[in-house]
Amino acid sequence: MSLLAESPAAAAAAATGDRRIRVWDLPLRLFHWLLVAAIAVAFLSSEEESALNAYHMLSGWLAAVLIAFRLVWGIVGGEYARFAGFVKPSALGHHVGELLRGRPSATVGHNALGALSVILLLAMVAATVWTGATLAEDLHELLGWTLLALVVVHVLAVIAMSLLTRENLVRAMVDGTKPAGRHPAGLDARPPGAFAWLVGAVVIAAAAWAITRYDPEAFTLRSVESYEHRGEGAGERSGDVEPLREHDED
């Protein structure tokens, strides 16, 4: 009999069969893929000549709502969505050492570098949206390209970790599960409670409301140029009124 067949890990894997454990909750998965779509549309619509230019501002504001949701969901969400459960700087050195040896451990939630990637991407998306909203064009463009580079690195890292740990990480973010055979001691994640769902909905509504206070046309289709000149029309109209008043007085 081979040593592999006698090992506890192999016996556990055989016992679990094709069973999968629940890891990522539905709101987290929706956030992930909606943010992917928002970023993709934002890049494809960034040029004035683009046929998608009218979607650029809309995609940016949607990304802002998603970031607000994720920050709160990182506190009240499901077990593996919470920052406290995966942001562990002390684990970074051990994880990097495993990578250098080519033998990274499969983790149920985010690994240490994955956690760092999450924080960097959230911060970069937020900064990119902010500089776009405040018309800091040069910085906005620089951050946009930096964000694109981080996204590329993130995708490559997901592919590499999928191969090294023999787990389909993309599938995990689609259906929310991972193979129990790779995590014999893993249990289904604690799902978000009713309070978390309520808080998440309130945050989405509040973020959308706050954005419309800043930009009333935030969730409509219009060109980036119209956003840049959104206050000029009102100024011109108010300027036209004054001469009329002077004429009436004469």
Q: Per residue in 224-234, pLDDT tens? A: 988 988 766 54
Whether 250 maps to a domain, the answer reads no
Whether 231 maps to a domain, the answer reads no
Whether 120 maps to a domain, the answer reads yes
For the chain, give the percent of residues with pLDDT over 90.
66
In this predicted structure, what is the pLDDT of residue 232? 64
pLDDT reading at 1 higher than 70: no
What total number of domains does the chain contain?
1
Alpha-carbon gap, residue 81 to 86, rounded angstroms: 8
> Which band of pLDDT confidence, cut at 50, 70 and 90, is reported for residue 94?
confident
Q: How far apart are the first and last CA of the chain?
A: 109
Q: Per residue in 45-72, pLDDT tens? A: 999 899 999 999 999 999 999 999 999 9
Whether 175 maps to a domain, the answer reads yes
pLDDT reading at 4 higher than 80: no
Whether 105 maps to a domain, the answer reads yes
Whether 162 maps to a domain, the answer reads yes
Alpha-carbon gap, residue 13 to 171, rounded angstroms: 19
Q: Tell me which of 19 and 247 has the higher pLDDT.
A: 19
Mean pLDDT of 137-163: 95
Whether 245 maps to a domain, the answer reads no
Q: Averaging pLDDT over each range in 16-30, 77-91, 120-134, 177-191, which range is the top one?
A: 120-134
pLDDT reading at 221 higher than 90: yes
**Mean pLDDT across the chain, nearest whole number?**
87
In this predicted structure, what is the pLDDT of residue 247? 46
pLDDT reading at 129 higher than 60: yes
3-state SS, the chain, equals CCHHHHCHHHHHHHHHCCCEEECCCHHHHHHHHHHHHHHHHHHHCCCCCCCCHHHHHHHHHHHHHHHHHHHHHHHHCCHHHCHHHHCCHHHHHHHHHHHHCCCCCCCCCCCHHHHHHHHHHHHHHHHHHHHHHCCCHHHHHHHHHHHHHHHHHHHHHHHHHHHHHCCCHHHHHHHCEEEHHHCCCCCCCCCCCHHHHHHHHHHHHHHHHHHHHHCCCCCCCCCHHHHHCCCHHHHHHHHHHHHHHHHHHC
Full domain range(s) for residue 201: 19-223
Mean pLDDT of 141-164: 95
Whether 232 maps to a domain, the answer reads no
Q: Per residue in 160-208, pLDDT tens? A: 999 998 899 999 999 999 998 888 888 899 999 999 999 999 999 999 9
Block residue for tokens 């981080």: 150
In this predicted structure, what is the pLDDT of residue 229? 82
